């Protein structure tokens, strides 16, 4: 199975980090994968996006043009990428930041008020990981088991205090109904 994921939002929302988390989880599960960030000046405050492919076969092009899953954290990206999701695919949107709903009937859509949830939980920078938790729950593309190990890998040594917060965010997303 191959899952092509497009994560998109503003720079600073942790789009690349959430993608990196998925890639690392895939690595530790022994999957084939690629992680490709947008790069350049747009990384500072402009739009940021990141392509992640998780597969059981060698990854061909790392460029995701028709995602199976779109994880989206701002309206411009929602407008830009909604139509690119493959039929049968999925959108996971931060509904605190995107009031709009998709009119497509051939895809599944999940609206998670991730930014509000993160603020309420006192972890305002981790809406990205709430959406990642929802992604795990709804796609099964990566497993919940081994989550702690992955977080230890990607959270640098000097930020290990962020470990609990990330786990909390992932859990909140994983358990979110709706």
Q: Token pair of 177, please?
A: 């109904």
Cβ neighbours around 96 below 10 Å, total: 17
Residue 121 or 154 with smaller CB distance to another protein: 154
Q: CB-wise, 88 or 178, nearer to another protein? A: 88
Give one DSSP letter per residue of 123-159, joined into a string: -TT-HHHHHHHHHHHHH-SS-STTHHHHHHHHS-GGG
What are the start-end ranges of the E strands in 16-138? 32-37, 47-55, 69-72, 90-94, 108-112
- Pick the closer one to another protein by CB: 33 or 97: 33
Site for another protein in 41-70 (CB under 8 A): 59-63, 65
Q: Which of residues 24 and 110 has its CB atom nearest to another protein in the complex?
A: 24
Is 86 a residue that touches another protein (CB under 8 A)?
A: no
Backbone φ, ψ for residue 176 (5° rounding): -70, 130
The contact pattern for another protein, residues 8-27, with x = CB under 8 A and - = no contact, is ------------x--xx--x
What 3-state DSSP class applies to 9? strand
Tokens of residue 7, six digits = 């994560």
The residue (of 23 and 151) whose beta carbon lies closer to another protein is 23
* Shortest CB 1 distance to another protein, Å: 15
Rg (CA), the chain: 15
Query: Is 34 an interacting residue with respect to another protein (CB under 8 A)?
Result: yes
Report the nearest approach of another protein to the CB of residue 160 (Å).
Answer: 19
Residues that bind another protein (CB under 8 A): 20, 23-24, 27, 32-37, 39-40, 59-63, 65
């Amino acid at each position: 199975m191959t899952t092509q994921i497009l994560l998109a939002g503003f720079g600073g929302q942790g789009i690349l980090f959430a993608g990196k988390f998925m890639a690392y989880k895939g690595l530790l599960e022994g999957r084939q994968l690629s992680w490709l960030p947008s790069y350049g000046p747009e990384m500072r405050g402009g739009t940021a996006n990141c392509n992640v492919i998780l597969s059981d076969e060698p990854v061909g092009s790392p460029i995701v043009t028709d995602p199976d899953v779109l994880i989206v954290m701002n309206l411009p990206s929602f407008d830009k990428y909604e139509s690119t999701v493959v039929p049968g695919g999925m959108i996971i949107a931060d509904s605190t930041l995107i009031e709009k709903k998709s009119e497509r009937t051939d895809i599944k859509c999940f609206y998670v008020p991730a930014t509000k949830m993160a603020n309420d939980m006192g972890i305002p920078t981790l809406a990205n990981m709430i959406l990642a938790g929802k992604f795990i729950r709804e796609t099964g593309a990566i497993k919940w088991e081994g989550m702690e190990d992955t977080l230890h890998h990607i959270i640098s040594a000097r930020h290990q205090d962020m470990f609990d917060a990330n786990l909390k965010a992932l859990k909140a997303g994983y358990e979110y109904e709706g």
